[in-house]
Amino acid sequence: MIQTRGLTKTYGDVRAVDEVHLDVREGDVYGFLGANGSGKTTTVRMLLGLVMANAGEAELFGEPMPKSAASVLPRIGALVEGPGAYPHLSGRANLALFDAAAGARARRADQRSRITEVLEQVGLDPSDKRPTKTYSLGMKQRLGLAAALVRRPPLLVLDEPTNGLDPQGIRDIRELLLGLNRAGTTIFLSSHLLAEVEQMSTRVGVLDRGRLVLQEDMSAIRAVTGLVRVRTPDPDAAIALLDGRVQERGAGEVVVRADDIADLNVRLVTAGVRVTGLEPVRRTLEQVVLEATTP
Ligand code: ATP
């Protein structure tokens, strides 16, 4: 769905985006992570043809951008850097204008029902007549998301979609996006929130000072490490038994190297070591990102 090769953008001496190779596949929820200023927004803007790259290539749906923008952009729902809306018009009127501006692909006959549905999806009242200048930051963000969804695109490109939302709002949007993904929508979302990306993504890319330092499936990131956390009221007995395999010990627990958790359990219990829990140790996204990025 999105492929880039050597995508680069410089501003004077600053390499805002530095030879980035993105690979976003159909069906992915791709979490694009990076600290403030790492180049996420610049990358998103290049994907959408809003900023010209200095070097490299970008393809969306297998078509080159920005050359094929006229064919590519109608198939993308985008939310970039704060949604813009006409402040004196209602949310519904803004969406109708946005949809009309999208051109012939927008079928007017079903426009009313699409707008009603999308306003409900993002948690805005479809009968709300107030102008958007009275909207809270969270409501504006929801309206921006509604604009991205109104044409039911197969690909969403969202820059920090939960900006300005409270915890309930973040959860609502997360569930909405996951539901759309289950129904077949591919989602590329940038975020600086690790937890958000960890909860949603099937694939992760990490930018560090303009460079893509990690791109991996979440399943690989969260793969088991060959270590097992043993919770026990008898940690000394466990350590005595498993001596050479012990990696670390904590309060009421020992981390050991083991290939088979069931065998480990039998060994402990047979030796009289009481066990309250056994759990494979997995890397967290936070650990992986911290290892990949410079402090
Ligand atoms: P944030 O999370 O803070 O939005 P980001 O990861 O989206 O950050 P970018 O906004 O892409 O990062 O910025 C990357 C770098 O490029 C920064 O050093 C920024 O100062 C610089 N930059 C971005 N746009 C411009 C511009 N128009 N002119 C000059 N420098 C720019």
pLDDT tens track for 147-159: 999 889 999 999 9
Q: Is the CB of 41 under 6 A from ligand 1?
A: yes
How far, CA to CA in Å, does 142 sit from each of 16, 120, 271? 28, 10, 58
Q: What share of the chain is helix, strand, coil (3-state, %, to 5)?
A: 40, 30, 35
Residue 100 has pLDDT above 80, yes or no: no
Lowest mean pLDDT among 33-37, 230-234, 239-243, 290-294: 290-294
pLDDT of residue 111: 80
The domains found in the chain, sorted by start residue, are 2-221 (3.40.50.300), 224-292 (3.30.70)
How remote is the CA of residue 38 from the centroid of ligand 1, in Å? 7
CA contacts within 13 A on the Cβ side of 227: 14
Measure 14 CA to ligand 1 centroid, in angstroms.
9
Residue 159 CA, closest ligand 1 atom number: 7
Q: Is the CB of 38 under 6 A from ligand 1?
A: yes
pLDDT reading at 254 higher than 90? yes
When pLDDT is cut at 50, 70 and 90, the band that residue 293 belongs to is confident
Report which ligand 1 atom has the smallest distance to the Cα of 51: 27
Q: Which residues contact 112 (CB under 8 A, 6 or more apart)?
A: none
The predicted-structure confidence for 178-236, as pLDDT tens digits, reads as follows 999 999 999 999 998 888 899 999 999 999 999 999 999 999 998 888 899 999 999 99
| DSSP characters over 15-51 | EEEEEE--EE-TT-EEEEEE-TTSSHHHHHHHHTTSS
Mean pLDDT value of segment 19-31: 97
Residue-level pLDDT at 27:
97
Is the pLDDT at 105 greater than 60? The verdict is no
Q: Is 141 in the pocket of ligand 1 (CB under 6 A)?
A: no
pLDDT value at position 83? 54
pLDDT digits (tens, 9 = 90+) for 50-95: 899 999 999 999 999 989 988 999 899 999 875 577 777 888 888 8
No. of H helices and E strands in the chain? 11, 15
Which tens digit of pLDDT belongs to each residue from 116-155?
999 999 999 999 999 999 998 888 888 999 999 988 999 9
Residue 101 has pLDDT above 70, yes or no: no
What is the distance between the alpha carbons of residues 218 and 228, in angstroms, rounded to a whole number? 20
Token pair belonging to 270: 């047979």
| CA gap 56, 36 in Å, rounded | 23
The Cα–Cα gap between 73 and 97 comes to: 17
**11 has pLDDT over 60:** yes
Assign 102 a pLDDT band (cuts: 50, 70, 90). low
